[in-house]
Amino acid sequence: MQPDSAIHRARRERVLEQMGEGVMVIATAPEVPRNRDTHYPYRHDSYFYWLTGFNEPEAVVVLIGGKNPRHVLFCRERNEEREIWDGFRYGPEAARETFAFDDAYAYDALHTEVPRLLENQPLLAYIIGRDMAWDTQVMGWLNAVRGKARSGVRAPDRLVDARVWLDEFRLVKDAHELALMRRAAEISDGAHRAAMRATRPGRHEYEIEAELLCAFRSGGAESPAYTSIVASGANACVLHYVFNNQPLRDGDLLLIDAAAEFGSYAADITRTFPVSGRYAAAQKDVYELVLAAQGAAIEAVRPGNHWNTPHETAVRVLTQGLVDLGLLQGEVDGLIESQAYTRFYMHRTGHWLGMDVHDAGEYKLHGEWRSLQPGMTLTVEPGLYIRPADDVPQAFWNIGVRIEDDVAVTESGCEVLTHAPKTVAEIEAWMRP
């Protein structure tokens, strides 16, 4: 996608307004070797890209606040030989123009220019503690400035984790971000529909994964947003199952947790459906319980409710349903208080969603769950995972169900971004030959 320099420039200006006088330094992600001669497909750092829109490796953004703010980029120089092998590079001059920076330097100039930019600044902000090598490099720059103390040069005396500001900005999405997330969701919806249509006994999990990957790329997505989970039968009771290598058996459920990344924004969808195309009685009972819990949780996503309200809502519905199915015994309030339900439901009901699948942003402020507000985006994903046990009726053994959708908080409630078939009737009709 072509960069929109005005959007990224405006973001940087908002950050500097919050930070005030000082310097913020944010590096993009490094390239990661896969084996001797190749790298994993490159994916930029989300904080860096949110600020810049620049997706080449070996790049750093330096933002200088105060009365004379400056936006500075360090990036790779043009190199005809490397571009023959690896593709186009902007180089500092073109990057400065294209991405609306005040100055741009070659990446190799970092060690001389950054200490100079830190001189006589009161504050240095960067992402502290995420990368020890980067911490060491930043401390080296600080020490270089401290070494000039006898010349009257002052080094920053405050270190601040840049996430203090960046996470809060990234947590609330603007119209541009929501448009990208809707497209990521649309592509992912289509992939789930294709996977349902391709599923039948005798095929393998990896064949269905291939359908997903094909639909992602055919829809224009850069990549999957995360490693796809294609888990049939007992595998659906393994929350982070990613082997995707088992045959699909008649009578089993297939749980797919998979979605695309588009424009650097992620979707995150889970659907659970029968390999044969029709739910057995016990599978249907569990599925409709999870679906009811998800519907209640989505209804609880609205401004003013706190972050944990959808989870609390889902837990109550699930716990009552587990009692009704005979899988738990006792009073619902007591079972919730003792967390007896966690035998079958052991994860949270959602997480922030955005550039990262588990996106930036705190869930509590000053020890209290934060309130939802328009522009926040999150998943709603209750589930039940029933393993074989002496006190569990055999009809429920190895039933793993999770239903996950992406929602954006609006002024009056929420917008559900994902729309793959979800009710029993919709799924069975879609899968019918």
Q: What are the pLDDT digits (tens) for 334-349?
A: 999 999 999 999 999 9
* Mean confidence (pLDDT) of the chain: 97
pLDDT at 150: 96
Catalytic residue among 268, 356, 406, 428: 268
428-432 mean pLDDT:
97
By CB atoms closer than 10 A (0-12, 13-18, 19+), residue 91 is: middle
pLDDT at 2: 59
231: enclosing H helix or E strand: strand 229-232
Strands (E), 46-177: 60-65, 70-75, 103-106, 123-126, 158-161
Catalytic residue status for 211: no
How confident is the model over 138-182, as pLDDT tens digits?
A: 999 999 999 999 999 999 999 999 999 999 999 999 999 999 999
Catalytic residue status for 17: no
How confident is the model over 290-333, as pLDDT tens digits?
A: 999 999 999 999 999 999 999 999 999 999 999 999 999 999 99
Task: Return the residue matching tokens 């995420």.
Answer: 130
Catalytic residue status for 226: no
Task: For strands 405-409 and 414-416, give the pairing.
Answer: antiparallel
Catalytic residue status for 71: no
pLDDT at 1: 58
187-214 mean pLDDT:
98
Task: Return the residue matching tokens 């830190």.
Answer: 118
Give CA–CA dist 224/15, Å, rounded: 30
Catalytic residue among 12, 89, 316, 402: 402
Catalytic residue status for 426: no
Catalytic residue among 36, 150, 240, 432: 240
Catalytic residue status for 37: yes
117: enclosing H helix or E strand: helix 110-118
Residue 71's pLDDT band (cuts 50, 70, 90) = very high
pLDDT at 433: 87
Distances (CA, A) of 45 to 28, 51, 64: 5, 10, 20
Catalytic residue among 49, 279, 351, 405: 351
> Which of the 8 DSSP states describes residue 308?
T
Element counts in the chain: helices (H) and strands (E): 13, 19
Catalytic residue status for 402: yes
Angle at 234 between CA 228 and CA 236, to 5 degrees: 30
Catalytic residue among 358, 363, 368, 426: 358
Q: Which phi and psi angles does 160 have, rounded to 5°?
A: -130, 140
- % of the chain residues with pLDDT over 70: 99
pLDDT at 3: 65
Residue 375's pLDDT band (cuts 50, 70, 90) = very high
Strands (E), 59-163: 60-65, 70-75, 103-106, 123-126, 158-161
Catalytic residue among 70, 154, 204, 347: 347
> Which of the 8 DSSP states describes residue 172?
B
Task: Return the residue matching tokens 């409709």.
Answer: 288
How confident is the model over 17-65, as pLDDT tens digits?
A: 999 999 999 999 999 999 999 999 999 999 999 999 999 999 999 999 9
Catalytic residue among 113, 211, 356, 404: 404
Amino acid at 7: I
H-only helix segments in 110-253: 110-118, 132-146, 163-171, 175-198, 205-218
Catalytic residue among 56, 177, 257, 406: 257
Give CA–CA dist 400/311, Å, rounded: 19
Supply the Cα-derived Rg of the chain in whole angstroms. 25
390-405 mean pLDDT:
98
Catalytic residue among 381, 405, 406, 428: 381
Catalytic residue status for 111: no
Give CA–CA dist 245/256, Å, rounded: 13
Amino acid at 144: A
Catalytic residue status for 404: yes
Give CA–CA dist 287/296, Å, rounded: 14
Res. 357: pLDDT tops 70? yes
pLDDT at 131: 93
Task: Return the residue matching tokens 């934060």.
Answer: 370
